[in-house]
Structures are given as structure tokens and as C-alpha cells.
Amino acid sequence: MGDLKRNLIIGMGSIGLVLAVAGCAGKPLGGDSTVNVVSSSELPAPGRTDVLSGDRPYLIGPFDKLTIDVFGIPELSQREVQTDASGRLSFPLVGTLEVAGRTPSEVEGLIKGRLRGSYVRDPQVTVNLRETVSQVITVDGEVREPGLYPVVGRMTLMRAVATAKGASEFAKLDDIVVFRTVQGQRYAALYNLKAIRRGAYADPEVFANDVVVVGDSPARRLFRNLIQVAPLLTGPLIVALQN
């Protein structure tokens, strides 16, 4: 990884491996002071600012399309709106609202507040997601249909691969890498989909802005040195990367 500073976080799937590396936790790996080993079983979950993107609430982002309905007012019923590049939207009698990073229910509250203050005594507002552009994952590598796929509700690694129409004929199911950025920190995790299907460890959750690469050996090189140190590893390998 060249000059990349690397903190290695190992997800351990067997008692024997836990005992083997327990003494190394928090210490340099292989004498390299920039590589530290700690115990962990999963990638950290991103916060609102990481995804600005279930049953995790959906957070609205740039260019998302919403349907807004104000009950009893035909002119404000079933109106389709789209947020702009800054995550703002405009609505009649309401004006411009900053909605990026908010849930649909929070946007309902904003619209109610604006309408109640000047025009409607007790507005009944419903905001629904019509189409998402901002909340997507990238699925690449040896899948039948690589591309960008929306994340609405809870998405796991197995579901992400299935959404891309499944792995291709030549996919390496023990060679799946997930890239994620949390609070400016870049992470990469190596998973074995066969082991997940057998129940060896949990199907990890994936989030908006994650990149899933299936069966890609160049991505797996990030983990080459660690695999040599712990060849019996049966759980996920998670690497924290920093330039």
C-alpha cells in the first residue's frame, strides 16, 4: 500500500485464532509501527454525514425525487418535487427548504411548520420517496449486472450481490471487498460469501456510498500481508486506510 498508513482490524471467527492474535492487539504488526492490530468483527457503521447519505430511516440527498401531499388542498396534493444539487427543494406557500440529510418525516414537520404559520390551521402533510439518486451503492467486479443500486431500508452484502443479478460464472465468492468511508476514514473489508451462506458469520450490512467489488484479485492485494500472518482466518478482514 505504499505510503498509506494502515490500521488493521481483524474480525476473528474461531477461538484458536482469537488466542493466536490476542497478544498482538494494539501492537505493531510485523514490527511496522504504522500497522496496529485490534479485535473487531465488522466495519463501523457510517453516520448521517457519511451517507448524507432498515430499518434504518432513509436520509434525503441531492437529486432525490419526492411526492408531497397536503391533505384537503388540491393544489398541494400529490406534487412531485426533486431536490437540487445542494439538497434543497421548493414547494408552493412554503418556499425553499434545506432537506439534505433529513428523513421524509422530518421534512413533513418542516412543511407543516411553514404552512401552519401563515396559511393552514392544521395541515396534514405526507412526504414519500419516489426515486433515489443519492443513496446508492456501487456493485462491481464479477457480477451479472455491475452498476449503481439504490439503498432503501436495510441492505446486506448478500442482498447487494443479488440486486446485481448475482455473481457471474467465474466469480470468486471468497474474494469480496467492501470499501467504505466513515468520518473521513477510508476502510476496506474482505468477505467470504460462501462462509456467510454457511452461517460461519453474519451477513454484513452495507450502506449508501459503499463500493462492493466481487471476485477482484487486485482489490484483495490489500490483505495479502495479513493473510500470510493469519492464514487460518475464518471471519472478515477489515482494514482502515488513511493517506
41/158 Cα distance (integer angstroms) = 17
What number of CA atoms fall less than 13 Å from residue 29's CA on the CB side? 23
Single-letter amino acid, residue 229:
V
What number of CA atoms fall less than 13 Å from residue 207's CA on the CB side? 21
From first to last of its 243 residues, what are the pLDDT tens digits of the chain? 443 333 333 333 332 333 333 344 444 333 334 333 334 556 677 776 665 544 557 788 888 999 999 998 888 999 999 999 888 999 999 999 999 989 999 999 999 999 987 778 889 999 998 888 778 899 999 999 999 888 877 889 999 999 999 998 888 888 899 999 888 888 888 899 989 998 888 899 999 889 999 987 666 666 666 666 555 556 777 777 755
Structural domains in the chain, sorted by start: 5-48+135-242 (3.10.560.10), 60-131 (3.30.1950.10)
204/220 Cα distance (integer angstroms) = 18
H-helix segments, 80-214: 104-118, 157-163, 193-198
The whole-model pTM stands at: 0.58
